[in-house]
Amino acid sequence: MTTTPTATAPPEAPPLRRTRRSKETVLAWGFLAPSIVVFALFLAYPLGRTVYLSMHGNDIIGRPSRFVGFSHFAEMASPEFGQVLLTTLLFTLGTVVPGVAGALAIVLLLEGVIRGQRLLRGAFALPFAFSVASASVIFVVFYSSGNSVLNGILYRVGLSQVPWLTSQEMALWSVCITTVWMNLGYGVLVLAAGIGSIPKEINEAARIDGATGVRLARDVTVPMLGPQLFFLIVISTINALQGFGQIHILTRGGPSGSTTTLVYSIFEEAFAYSTSDFGRASAQALVLLLVVLVCTAIQFGSIERKVHYA
Q: Is the peptide bond before 15 cis (omega within 30 degrees of 0)?
A: no
3-state SS record for 93-138: HHHHHHHHHHHHHHHHHHHCCCCCHHHHHHHHHHHHHCCHHHHHHH
Name which of 79 and 115 has its Cβ closer to another protein. 115
| Shortest CB 69 distance to another protein, Å | 19
* Shortest Å, Cβ 57 to another protein: 15
Among 65, 78, 168, 212, binds another protein (CB under 8 A): 212
Our CB check for another protein shows the closer of 173 and 244 to be 244
**By CB under 8 A, residue 148 contacts another protein:** yes
> Distance (Å, rounded) from C-alpha 165 to C-alpha 145?
9
The distance of closest approach from Cβ of residue 88 to another protein in the complex, given in angstroms and rounded to an integer, is 12
Contact 110, 117 (CB under 8 A): yes
Using alpha carbons, select from 136, 70, 103 the residue that is nearest to residue 287: 70
Does residue 119 bind another protein (CB under 8 A)? no
Applying the rule CB under 8 A, the residues between 185 and 204 that interact with another protein are 185-186, 189-190, 192-194, 197
Count of residues of this chain found to bind another protein when the rule CB under 8 A is applied: 124
Give, as ranges, the residues between 236 and 255 that touch another protein (CB under 8 A): 238, 241-242, 244-245, 248-249
Restricting to residues 278-307, name those near another protein by CB under 8 A.
278, 281-282, 285-286, 288-289, 292-293, 296-297, 300, 303, 306-307
Stretches 66-74, 75-83, 87-95, 270-278: which one binds another protein (CB under 8 A)?
270-278
Selected from 68, 176, 235, 240, the binder of another protein by CB under 8 A is 235
94 near another protein (CB under 8 A): no
State the DSSP H helix or E strand holding residue 280, giving kind and residue range, or none if neither: helix 278-309
Is the CB of 24 or the CB of 80 nearer to another protein? 24
CB 57 within 8 A of CB 68: yes
Q: Which is nearer to another protein, 172 or 182 (CB)?
A: 182
> Is position 217 an interface residue for another protein (rule: CB under 8 A)?
yes
Contacts with another protein, 56-85, as mask; x by CB under 8 A? ------x-----------------------
The distance from CA 106 to its chain's CA centroid, rounded to whole angstroms, is 21
Element (H, E) at 154: helix 149-156
Task: Spell out the residues 6+ positions from residue 286 whose beta carbon is closer than 8 angstroms to its own.
Answer: 50, 51, 54
Question: Distance between CA 256 and CA 87 in Å, rounded?
Answer: 12
Candidate list 216, 236, 259, 260; residue touching another protein; CB under 8 A: 216
| Distance of alpha carbon 279 from alpha carbon 31, whole angstroms | 37
Burial class of residue 136 (count of CB atoms within 10 Å of its CB; 0-12, 13-18, 19+): buried
User: Interface with another protein includes 128 (CB under 8 A)?
Assistant: yes
What is d(CA 115, CA 109) in angstroms, rounded to the nearest whole number? 13
Of 143, 128, 77, nearest to 283 by C-alpha is 77
Residues 10-29, interacting with another protein (CB under 8 A): 12, 14, 21, 24-25, 27-29
From the list 65-73, 87-95, 167-175, 180-188, the region that binds another protein by CB under 8 A is 180-188
Which region, judged by CB under 8 A, interacts with another protein, from 69-77, 84-92, 93-101, 143-151?
A: 143-151
Q: Coil, helix or strand for 264?
A: helix
